[in-house]
Chains A and B, each alone.
Chain A
Amino acid sequence: MPAPDTAPDGASARTLLSIEGLTKVYPTGQRALEGVDFTVERAEIVAVIGSSGAGKSTLIRCINRLVEPTSGRIRLGDTDLSALSRRELRAARRRIGMIFQEFNLVERLTVMENLLSGRLGSVGFFASLARRFPPQDVSNAYALLERVGLAGYENTRADALSGGQRQRVGIARALMQNPDLLLVDEPTASLDPKTARQIMRLIRELATERHRPALVNIHDVALAQTFADRVIGLKAGRVAFDGPPAALTAETLTEIYGAEDWSQTIRAADDEA
């Protein structure tokens, strides 16, 4: 699978993701995002932190337009996502893999069907109805299942899995799309601390293996610092910090989180692999 124009040492030939002046005002008048600007130029793990209500979730969803931005430009590689028609948007969404806080697996379907649903955009309606996917997709699915540690679970119903297992399936589903970008919305908020670290490690490993950038909403500052290459801090819909995790001092964190006590976001990680 061809890597984007990035040499392994990180030097970029072109911008992978570019956000310009992204603003979102909800019909209620709530101003969720106020002119967010940043670019992602290499395949890195970018953690987005901030207190609840700072706009993290809105930001992630504006990128693949699950939420429609009020104004601003979003560019994925050469494609201007904000200007696409519905049909073109669907094609563009196939290049973006999304992982959700509540896993959002189709509970009554098997793990394999959930994985294959990542390829729905590339398969015709009747073929998908008959569950006839290309052989390459099926073998990729098996490979991914093994890679996330769930070999043998393909016929298990999704609602029979634990939280951590479900998120692994969610990660595998996103990767089935062979996406150019990973959008990850609070992947660990519904998991216990130990599983949370395992999941973050898995996301980081997989994104790095495939040389793909990942934008990860995360509420837990310690996890962000451990697993991210870069941290963006949002405060009241604006970028308040953009830099390496090491540069996150106590003052910057207090500024980002404001009244909220950011030390509470760090759950007691009972340490381990």
Chain B
Amino acid sequence: MSIAAVYPTTWRRPPLFGSLARQRIAIAAAVGYLVWSVSDLNVDYARILAGFPRAIDIFVKMFPPDFARWQLLTNGMIESVQMALAATLVGVVLSIPIALAAARNLAPRPLYLAARGLIVGGRTLHEIIIAIFFVKLFGFGPVAGLLTLAFASAIFLGKMLAEDIENVRVGPVEAVRATGAGFGQTVVYSIVPQVLSRAVGVIIYRLDANVRHSTVIGIVGAGGIGQTLSASFSRYDYDFAAAILLSIVALVALGEWFSDWVRRKLR
């Protein structure tokens, strides 16, 4: 009679980071961080508890949303859309010199470094910070908003365009040059087609992003619906605020749907 082999009756998953010790350390570090951060934040638990009934109170006040001041609302929305549109166009125009300066295969080194530095700096700054600066320079209102978004768009589009220029395939360019074409013709026939395919999609994407951002920068006075929203919150006009929020959601969702549709058609 054969003796039945004895098999283990427990099994554990092999630890995630190589050894069990490292996994324990990782988990302890994560838990430790959570505990530390929460305590470091000076959370006033009494205020959090008080927050829940206040949240309910606010939500009750928000319904039904008050569309009575719809003219104010629509004006703000239109202003936001106009800012976004204009800023995208201006941004496209401004992005070209930035891109040319930031393309390693085109620009001389110091110019390239300066342009890349500008791009890094511009990208890290949140558009609200940029908005504050433009408000300080040009006063309250949509002009500051337009410039903010145009600046941000130019930086973003410039970076994309610079990457496309750097990735351009040399073969077709050489081939067109070899036929004896001039510089302008070479650009139009060999570089622009390569770059254009992604360019339109990126521009539409940026337009959609600008619509989103245009709703926010009003909070610091740069025009658009953000200003109306901020005012309504500070006046405790929660039902009007709800109306504005719903409109923002609708606008942004619409913009995104439109952007997806266009980019799908382009493919």
Note whether A and B contact each other (Cβ less than 8 A): yes
Interface, chain A (partner B; CB < 8 A):
110, 112-113, 116, 131, 133, 135-136, 138-143, 146, 154-155
CB-defined contacts of B13 to chain A, threshold 8 Å: 110, 113, 131
**B193 smallest CB distance to A (angstroms):** 41
Expressed in whole angstroms, the Cα–Cα distance for A112 and B9 within the complex equals 12
Q: Which of B5, B6, B10 contacts A138 (CB 8 A)?
A: B10
Main secondary structure of the interface of A (DSSP, over half): helix
**B6 smallest CB distance to A (angstroms):** 8
Main secondary structure of the interface of B (DSSP, over half): loop
Expressed in whole angstroms, the Cα–Cα distance for A116 and B10 within the complex equals 12
Q: A139-B8, A143-B5, A146-B5 are in contact. List 4 more A-B contacts (CB 8 A).
A: A113-B13, A138-B10, A138-B11, A142-B8
Closest A residue, CB atoms, query B4? A143
Interface residues of B in 1-36 (CB under 8 A from A): 5-14
**B117 smallest CB distance to A (angstroms):** 42
**B111 smallest CB distance to A (angstroms):** 48
Quick one: which of B6, B9, B14 has the most chain A CB within 10 A? B9
**A184 smallest CB distance to B (angstroms):** 26
Asked if A131 contacts B8 (CB within 8 A), the reply is: no
Expressed in whole angstroms, the Cα–Cα distance for A146 and B7 within the complex equals 10
Asked if B9 contacts A139 (CB within 8 A), the reply is: yes
Interface size bracket, B side = 10 to 19
Closest A residue, CB atoms, query B13? A131
Asked if A141 contacts B11 (CB within 8 A), the reply is: yes
CB-defined contacts of A140 to chain B, threshold 8 Å: 7
Asked if B12 contacts A138 (CB within 8 A), the reply is: no
**B39 smallest CB distance to A (angstroms):** 29
CB-defined contacts of B6 to chain A, threshold 8 Å: 139
Asked if A110 contacts B14 (CB within 8 A), the reply is: yes
Expressed in whole angstroms, the Cα–Cα distance for A170 and B93 within the complex equals 60
Q: A-B pairs with the 5 shortest C-beta distances?
A: A135-B9, A142-B7, A139-B7, A155-B14, A139-B9
Closest B residue, CB atoms, query A157? B14
Asked if A138 contacts B9 (CB within 8 A), the reply is: yes
Asked if A135 contacts B10 (CB within 8 A), the reply is: yes
**A52 smallest CB distance to B (angstroms):** 34
Asked if A112 contacts B11 (CB within 8 A), the reply is: yes
Expressed in whole angstroms, the Cα–Cα distance for A138 and B11 within the complex equals 7
Closest A residue, CB atoms, query B9? A135
**A43 smallest CB distance to B (angstroms):** 23
Expressed in whole angstroms, the Cα–Cα distance for A131 and B14 within the complex equals 12
CB-defined contacts of B11 to chain A, threshold 8 Å: 112, 116, 131, 133, 138, 141, 154
**B142 smallest CB distance to A (angstroms):** 51
Expressed in whole angstroms, the Cα–Cα distance for A110 and B14 within the complex equals 9
Asked if B7 contacts A143 (CB within 8 A), the reply is: yes
CB-defined contacts of A146 to chain B, threshold 8 Å: 5, 7
Expressed in whole angstroms, the Cα–Cα distance for A155 and B16 within the complex equals 12
Q: Can you list 8 A-B pairs with a CB-CB distance of less than 8 A? A: A116-B11, A133-B11, A138-B11, A139-B6, A139-B9, A146-B5, A146-B7, A154-B11
Expressed in whole angstroms, the Cα–Cα distance for A141 and B9 within the complex equals 9
CB-defined contacts of B8 to chain A, threshold 8 Å: 138-139, 142
CB-defined contacts of A142 to chain B, threshold 8 Å: 7-8
CB-defined contacts of A155 to chain B, threshold 8 Å: 14
Expressed in whole angstroms, the Cα–Cα distance for A146 and B12 within the complex equals 18
Expressed in whole angstroms, the Cα–Cα distance for A32 and B168 within the complex equals 53
CB-defined contacts of A110 to chain B, threshold 8 Å: 13-14
Q: Which of B5, B7, B9, B12 contacts A131 (CB 8 A)?
A: B12
Expressed in whole angstroms, the Cα–Cα distance for A138 and B13 within the complex equals 12
**B2 smallest CB distance to A (angstroms):** 13
Expressed in whole angstroms, the Cα–Cα distance for A251 and B56 within the complex equals 79
Expressed in whole angstroms, the Cα–Cα distance for A82 and B30 within the complex equals 50
**B156 smallest CB distance to A (angstroms):** 35
Q: Which of B9, B12, B14 contacts A136 (CB 8 A)?
A: B9
CB-defined contacts of A138 to chain B, threshold 8 Å: 7-11
CB-defined contacts of A154 to chain B, threshold 8 Å: 11
